[in-house]
Every structure is written in C-alpha cells, then in structure tokens.
Structure 1
Amino acid sequence: MKVAKFGGSSVADAVQLKKVATIIQADEQRRVIIVSAPGKRHADDVKVTDLLIELGESYQRKQKYHAELAEVIARFHSIVDDLGLSNQVITKIESHVTEIFQSDGDLNFKLDAIKAIGEDTLAQILSEYLQSLGINARYLNPKDAGLILSEQPGGAQILEESFAEIYRLREYEEILIIPGFFGYTSAGKLVTFSRGGSDITGSIVAAGVKAELYENFTDVDSVYCVNPSIVKNPKEITALTYKEMRELSYAGFSVFHAEALIPAVRAEIPVCIKNTNNPDALGTIIVSKKEVDIQANPVVGIASDNGFMSIYISKYLMNREVGFGRKLLQILEDEGISYEHTPSGIDDLSVIMREEQMDEQKEEIVLERIKAELKPDQVHVERGLALVMIVGEGMQSQVGTAYTAAKAFKDANVNIEMINQGSSEVSLMFGIKEKAVNDAVKSLYQVFFNK
C-alpha cells in the first residue's frame, strides 16, 4: 500500500485534478490519497486557504465576509464545471459557513473549522470525479479516518491512540480520499494542524496504515541541493536521510513542513517527493539510512533562512557562576520567547532567536531584566542575522569540510558572525548578515558542487 499526498499546486484547478486522477490510476497500490486545498493557479493568484483565513478575520472583526466567501465558491465552481460534475458540494459551502458562525463555542475552534473548508471540499470533489471515471473511490472525513488530535486550535498534535484507528483503513476496498490539514479532538471538535499541515496528515496516515511508501506530490521534480532562486539550475538530490531533510527544512527548505516527517521517521517509512506535472521523474527519496560513500561529496544541501537576531552577553568568570545560563533562559521564558541556538565561550554567551518574537518594547524589558538580574559586564542585541547551513551525513567521515566552507565565505568576502558545529552530526551552521546571504550561498555551492 502507498499513501499519496497532493499539495495545493497539484489541485489548483481542474487541469491539475485530471493529472492527479491519472497518477492515481497508474498504480493500484496508491490506496489512500491526502489532498490540500486549491493553491495558486498562477503567480498573482490567491490560495483558497488564504481566502478562508481572510473570511474568518472579517467575521472576527464583525465585518462583512461575503466577498471572500463568493471568491471561495467561485474557485470551486470553476473546478466542478470544468470537470463536468454537479454543484451539490458547492451549494453546501455557504450554509456550512453560516452554521459554523452561528454555533456556540470558542472563536478559535470556529476559525479552524472555516480554514478546513478548502481541503474538505476539494476531497469531496476529487472523490466524485474519480467515481465519474469509473474508479472505486470514496471520500472519508478525518474523523472517520481516525485522526484524533489534541485540543489546540491552529497547532493540534496527533494523539497516540489515533494510529490503531488509522490502521483500520487497510480494510477498505475503495481508494480513500481524505482531506489534509485537520482532524478532531476526542470531544468531536474540529482542529487544524499548523499551516502546511496537509503534509502532516499524509505522514500520519502513512505511519498509521504502515504504508510501503509515502509519496508527496508537489510541483518540482525533486529536492534541489540549494535554493533555485539563488543558484540557477542547481543539482538535484536523489536521496536524503530523514535527519538531513529535517535539518534542511529547519534552515529554509520549503519542500516539507518542518513537522511533517516525524510520524514517517518513527515508522521508518520511505518518503518520495515527486512532481504532479512530471510523475515519471525519479524524484527524491527520503529514508532512515543510506550508504555513505566516503569518496563522494560530504554535503547534500545548502540552506539559508533570514529573520534572526542575537543577544550577546559578556561577564568575567561567567563559567564559574552556577545557574547563569538557567537564569538567562528563564528571563526569555517569562517573556514568552523561545531560542534557537546558544553558542558560548568562557566569559561570553549568545542566544540566537527568531527576530519576529521580540519587538522594541519587549527588547527593552528583556535587556533591563538581564542587566538587573545577571549584572553582565556587557550586553547588546544584534538584528538582521541570517543562518546558512550545510548538511550531509558524509561530513562525519570526511576531514576538512569546515575548512572548505570557511574558505568559501572568505572567497565571497562575507564575515562569519557565528559558527555552530557539534550539536548536530550532519550539519554545520553559520550566522552572517542577511545582506550577504546570496553571495555566501553561491560561494558554498561553487566549492561543494561545482568542483
């Protein structure tokens, strides 16, 4: 059995859905299909989920939301008309929205139910279209599929008891079409994963049914070793380990939702990224382990991400002051700030965090508390940082990777603000100024992939 997930670009319109149907028919092992909401049809288009979020925000502000609702309905009308289907599913959308807003309960649960309309409607349409082609398919609501989630609107987590329920999907004879992105609490409330959560649904279901393979269909032939917007025509990655993909996802690779691989990793199910528009392409396979050739390139990918900042603290004999780090992190916790990295020296400590977490007002509060409670010799904040990461399990067995990377920064005339090596066996991270990212990444690509 294979589980296949089709992303927003793969289900953006009727033309794409016809391709999806052909892919499903091409392999009888594709028994469970997970779908996203319709994505962009072209660069200037709007994703259906974004329209639904705007609809919910208008309701929250007690404003009219009929324009957004009309646009959502028009998108789905276009799809069913082009596929020659009935409007039965479409006519229910408006009444469903009214029903959600008139129901009792927490506003956050209502907004989750609105956001889920895109995936839910698309799944029903695809099921009806497959049936019209004579394919034995059926729509299955996530509640009936066994997706039991924690009670956290917009950030729900799968509960362990779900997996036994999901395994029962193997008993169905039909091809199952399940909407991604949402599930239900034990009390029956609809809740969504974080944005991009259809990837999470696919991974969960693949783990639950113990699939042979989890296929993730998107709009690229494979994962590239570097961002194509920075380096033209970069080399493709044919195989990755879970750990490598996780590191790359963290540092800016947008192919996979950061949490999406976790269920598949734990169940050791191979994941294959494929192109809906070119399904015969090899794609990129992601596995738990792969053979490492010590003669080959130790680096499989280069990733970068902007929007970081650091708090630098210096205090003489900091290393002898018991509890110094704990007190610092306690201050951040009290202010609701999570950190990413904490490179340190004998008398120095830096905390790297996402810049969006700390506005000027919160920065002032944090710095005043650090000065009052930790009495440092020096403390200052630096914004506008980017993280550049080179990733590869082969780095463990090859000497000189750090030297090669550092030389690439030198060749690009880019100053390194921070280096983090050792916390991960498969990655080496550099902190630099945001404005230097493109030059740094191009230089790294040159030394590792264009030798």
Structure 2
Amino acid sequence: MKVVKFGGSSVANGEQIKKITNIIHADIERRVVVVSAPGKRYSEDVKVTDLLIQLGETIRDGGKYDEVYDWIMGRFQSIIDELELPQEVYQTISEKIDASIQHVIEEGERGLDALKACGEDGAALLVSAYLNQSGLDAAYVNPSEAGIVVRDQPGGALVLEESFERLYQLRERSEVLVIPGFFGFTPEEKLVTFSRGGSDITGSIVAAGVKADLYENFTDVDSVFSVNPMLVDNPQPMTSLTYREMRELSYAGFTVFHDEALIPAVKAKIPVCIKNTNNPSAPGTMIVSELEDRERDVVGIASDSGFLNIYVSKFLMNREIGFGRRLLQILEDEGVSFEHAPSGIDDMSVILREHQLPPEKESIVLKRIKDELEVDTVLIERGMALIMIVGEGMNHNIGMASRAATAFREAQVNIEMINQGSSEVSMMFGVKSSGLPAAVRSLYRTFFQEEKVKQS
C-alpha cells in the first residue's frame, strides 16, 4: 500500500487534477490520497488558503466580504467546469464554507480554523468526485471519519497516539480513499488545523497509521535540490537523503517539505519519495532511515531569513544557577518560542523568528530581562538569516568548519553566530540577511564545485 500526497500546485486547476488522476490509475498500490488546498495557477495568482484567511479575518473584523467570497467560490466553480463534474459537488463545498463562515461569526478567532480547512476539504471532494468519474471506486474520507485525533491547539495541532490505531482500520476499505490534509479533530470533535503547510503532516500521519510501504509526496519539482535554485543556477539534485538530513534541511528553509512532516514517517520507518506531478516518471528523491554509501559529506545547504537575536551578557553568568531557565521563562511567559540558544561563559544568545517578537512585545521582554536578571547588556539584533550545511558524513571528516569559514571569508560575509548540534548532522551559521545570497553561493562552490574551481 502506498499513501500519496499532492500539494497545492497539483490541485490548482482541472488540468492538474487530471494529471494526478492518471498517476493514481498508473499504480493500483496508491490506495490512500491526501490533498492540499488549490494553490497558485500562475505566479501572480493567490492560493485558496490565503483567500480563506483573508475571508475569515474580514468577517472577524466586521468588514464586507462578498468580493473575496466570490473569488473563492469562483476558483472551485472553475475546476468543476473544467472537469465537467456535477453541480452537486459545488453545492457541497458551498454549504461547508457557509457553515464555516457562521463559525467565524459566532466564535471569532476560534472559528478561523474551520474556514481555513475548507480549501483542503474542497479539494478532496473535487478529487474524489473526478476519480469516480474516471472509473475508479473512490471515496472522500473526512479526517474525523479517518480517525485523525489531535490536541486542541488551533493553528498548531499535534496528533494524538490513538490516531494511528484508528487509521489502520482504513486498510479494510477497498476504495481509493481521498483525505483532506491540514486538519484533524479533537476528542470533543472540534476541528483544529496543523501549522501552515500541514497537509504534509497529514500525509505522514496517514502513512504511519496505515503502515504504508511507501509515502509519495508529489509536488512541482523533479527532486530535492542541494541548494535553493533561486540562489544557485542548476544546483545538483539529491537522489537520496536520510530522515535526519531532510528534517534539518526542511527546518532551515527547504520549502519542498514541511519541517514537522517527517516525524510520523520516521517513527514508523516508512520510506518517503518526493516526486513531480508534472513529470511522474522521474525517480524523485528517496528519504530513508539510513544510507550506507554517500557520494559526499555535505548533501545540502539550506538557508532562511527572518530571524532575530536576543544577546544577553552578564559577568559570571556561568556561576548563576538557573540563569538560562529564567531567561527562557520570560519568553515563555510572553508567549514567545525560540529556535536556538547558543551560549558562552558570560553571554547567551537566543535566536527567534522575527514575527515572534513584534515591537510592542519587544519592549516588555527587554524590560523584564533587565529588571529580573540584572544583566550587564541586552541587545536585540534583527535582520538575521540562518544558513545550514547538512550531511550525515560531516562527523567523519576533519576540517568542515574550517572549509565553511573560508567560504564565508571569500564571500566577504561576517559570521554572527555558529552552532553545531550534538548529532553532528548539521552546522548552522547566523549572518546578516543581506549577506545570505553571497554566502550560500560561496558555500556551494566550496562543498559542491571544488574540483571545477581548482581547474579554473
């Protein structure tokens, strides 16, 4: 049995849904399908999820929402027309969106999750209807019916262990099952969404639950590339990765795969293959638990901007029991999550996503750190980027940090922070966002094009 997940570009219009129907027809082992909400049809287009968020926020704030509502319904209607589906499908989608709008009106912020989920839900209804029309015996399966039970954390749901036993029962069904991604239900039957991009999470959860032989994640690229193609021309593709490598790369900016999505598949030891809906015959990139033979020590370079650094300095900090805990407690009290916390003898840095600390919250955090911890210095540095070099072979090779530092020097980019995890699968560098493109290109030359550089 294979679980197949299709991203937003794969269900963006009727033509794309015809492609995924052919993919499912081509392999009878593709028994469970998970879909995202319709994505962009062209570069200037708007994703249906973004339209639904705009709709919900407009309703919550008491504004007029007719125009954005019509845009959303127009997207679904155009797909129905392209696929020549019965109008009853549109009616079902319309009723679900209208019911979700009522949730927003009655429950405010709490109702937004139900409305955001309508993109995936509508896509699943469209795909299941077209699969049936194409001659397959297919069924739409709501996440509640499937057994996806989650913790009550709107916008950041976490799956509960009981889900996996319930999901296993789906193996008894004979149809091709189409499940909307991105959301589940609490034990009290409240709809709650995963974090943004959470359809990948649903696919991984379902694959683990049904004990699939393979989880195929279809997107719009032939494979995972060793570096962002927007920064480096014609980067090398990666034919295989380990779970740990992909997790590190996804966290640090590889948008092809949600950074939390691998966890259920990893635990269940289910191989994952990233493939291209527009070129399904391409082998894609396999993600597995272990790889014995590696072509190189570094397999990928990931990068992401939008970080800030809270720098705290206090003489004899290392002698003060509980200092780090109290610093992080201040962030917890203010509802701020952190990413990394490298430290020295007398200083400590806490790396955050910039959106976690808006200006009004920044002043509160700074004041509390000064007053409660009595520090010598506390500074906030915005406009930071993180660059991560990743590879299971790094811990077997001497001089990796030296080679990376040389690459930064050649790019004339200053390293603001360096951190290596205990797993030694990755090494992370903090730089000013303005230096990110040059640093990434220099690192790519160092770790992927050394021979060509020497020859030149």
What TM-score, normalized by structure 2, do the two folds share? 0.95
User: What secondary structure, in the 3-state scheme, does the structure 1 residue paired with 2:413 have?
Assistant: coil
Residue 150 of structure 1 corresponds to: 151
User: What secondary structure, in the 3-state scheme, does the structure 2 residue paired with 1:168 have?
Assistant: helix
What is the rounded CA distance, in whole Å, between the counterparts of 1:442 and 1:376 in structure 2?
38
Residue 51 of structure 1 corresponds to: 51
Moved more, 321-330 or 104-113: 104-113
Shift of the 350–155 alpha-carbon distance from structure 1 to 2, 3 Å rule, reads: closer
Residue 190 (str. 1) matches residue 191 (str. 2): yes
Residue 6 of structure 2 corresponds to: 6
What is the rounded CA distance, in whole Å, between the counterparts of 1:359 and 1:188 in structure 2?
34
What is the rounded CA distance, in whole Å, between the counterparts of 1:333 and 1:17 in structure 2?
44
How far is 1:109 from its partner? Answer: 4.2
Q: Contact 1:108–1:153 at 8 Å: present in 2 too? A: no
Residue 117 of structure 2 corresponds to: 116
Residue 304 (str. 1) matches residue 290 (str. 2): no
How far is 1:92 from its partner? Answer: 3.1
Moved more, 324-333 or 237-246: 324-333
What is the rounded CA distance, in whole Å, between the counterparts of 1:319 and 1:121 in structure 2?
55
Shift of the 362–142 alpha-carbon distance from structure 1 to 2, 3 Å rule, reads: closer
Q: Contact 1:206–1:269 at 8 Å: present in 2 too? A: yes
What is the rounded CA distance, in whole Å, between the counterparts of 2:149 and 2:432 in structure 1?
43
Moved more, 106-115 or 417-426: 106-115
Shift of the 147–309 alpha-carbon distance from structure 1 to 2, 3 Å rule, reads: same
What is the rounded CA distance, in whole Å, between the counterparts of 2:364 and 2:282 in structure 1?
53
Residue 141 of structure 2 corresponds to: 140
**Structure 2: 5+ residue stretches without partners:** 451-456
Aligned residue type for 1:44? E
Q: Contact 1:270–1:287 at 8 Å: present in 2 too? A: yes
User: What secondary structure, in the 3-state scheme, does the structure 1 residue paired with 2:56 have?
Assistant: helix
1:177-198 CA deviation, whole Å, 9 max, x = no partner? 1111122222222222111111
Residue 333 of structure 2 corresponds to: 334
Residue 418 of structure 1 corresponds to: 417
1:235-272 CA deviation, whole Å, 9 max, x = no partner? 00111111111111111110111211111011010000
User: What secondary structure, in the 3-state scheme, does the structure 2 residue paired with 1:106 have?
Assistant: helix
* Count of aligned pairs between the two proteins: 449
Q: Contact 1:166–1:208 at 8 Å: present in 2 too? A: yes
Residue 454 of structure 2 corresponds to: none
Moved more, 95-104 or 416-425: 95-104
What is the rounded CA distance, in whole Å, between the counterparts of 2:350 and 2:126 in structure 1?
49
How far is 1:199 from its partner? Answer: 0.7
Aligned residue type for 1:237? M
How far is 1:107 from its partner? Answer: 3.0
Moved more, 59-68 or 20-29: 59-68
Alignment of 1:268-279 (within 5 A): 268-279=269-280
Residue 243 (str. 1) matches residue 244 (str. 2): yes
1:382-435 CA deviation, whole Å, 9 max, x = no partner? 221111110000001111111111110111111111111243420001111110
Shift of the 138–401 alpha-carbon distance from structure 1 to 2, 3 Å rule, reads: same
User: What secondary structure, in the 3-state scheme, does the structure 1 residue paired with 2:207 have?
Assistant: helix
Residue 360 of structure 1 corresponds to: 359
- Root-mean-square deviation (CA, aligned residues, Å) is 1.6
Residue 94 of structure 1 corresponds to: 94
1:248-301 CA deviation, whole Å, 9 max, x = no partner? 1111110111211111011010000000000011101111111144xx421010
What is the rounded CA distance, in whole Å, between the counterparts of 2:360 and 2:122 in structure 1?
43
Shift of the 48–363 alpha-carbon distance from structure 1 to 2, 3 Å rule, reads: closer
Residue 348 (str. 1) matches residue 347 (str. 2): yes
Q: Contact 1:292–1:394 at 8 Å: present in 2 too? A: no
Residue 396 (str. 1) matches residue 395 (str. 2): yes
How far is 1:114 from its partner? Answer: 1.5
Q: Contact 2:304–2:386 at 8 Å: present in 1 too? A: yes
User: What secondary structure, in the 3-state scheme, does the structure 2 residue paired with 1:388 have?
Assistant: strand
Residue 85 of structure 1 corresponds to: 85
Aligned residue type for 1:437? L
Shift of the 117–317 alpha-carbon distance from structure 1 to 2, 3 Å rule, reads: closer
How far is 1:365 from its partner? Answer: 2.5
Aligned residue type for 1:411? E
User: What secondary structure, in the 3-state scheme, does the structure 1 residue paired with 2:429 have?
Assistant: strand
Residue 171 of structure 1 corresponds to: 172
What is the rounded CA distance, in whole Å, between the counterparts of 1:394 and 1:202 in structure 2?
29
What is the rounded CA distance, in whole Å, between the counterparts of 1:9 and 1:389 in structure 2?
27
User: What secondary structure, in the 3-state scheme, does the structure 2 residue paired with 1:9 have?
Assistant: helix
Aligned residue type for 2:74? A
What is the rounded CA distance, in whole Å, between the counterparts of 2:200 and 2:166 in structure 1?
19
What is the rounded CA distance, in whole Å, between the counterparts of 2:352 and 2:96 in structure 1?
41
Shift of the 322–43 alpha-carbon distance from structure 1 to 2, 3 Å rule, reads: same
Residue 370 of structure 2 corresponds to: 371
Q: Contact 2:60–2:109 at 8 Å: present in 1 too? A: no
Q: Contact 1:140–1:178 at 8 Å: present in 2 too? A: yes
How far is 1:214 from its partner? Answer: 0.2
What is the rounded CA distance, in whole Å, between the counterparts of 1:379 and 1:194 in structure 2?
31
**Structure 1: 5+ residue stretches without partners:** none
How far is 1:211 from its partner? Answer: 0.2
Shift of the 168–77 alpha-carbon distance from structure 1 to 2, 3 Å rule, reads: same
User: What secondary structure, in the 3-state scheme, does the structure 1 residue paired with 2:306 have?
Assistant: strand
Aligned residue type for 1:450? Q
Aligned residue type for 1:197? G
What is the rounded CA distance, in whole Å, between the counterparts of 2:298 and 2:177 in structure 1?
39
Moved more, 62-71 or 233-242: 62-71
Aligned residue type for 2:314? K
User: What secondary structure, in the 3-state scheme, does the structure 2 residue paired with 1:380 have?
Assistant: strand
Aligned residue type for 1:39? G
What is the rounded CA distance, in whole Å, between the counterparts of 1:198 and 1:89 in structure 2?
22
What is the rounded CA distance, in whole Å, between the counterparts of 1:75 and 1:386 in structure 2?
36
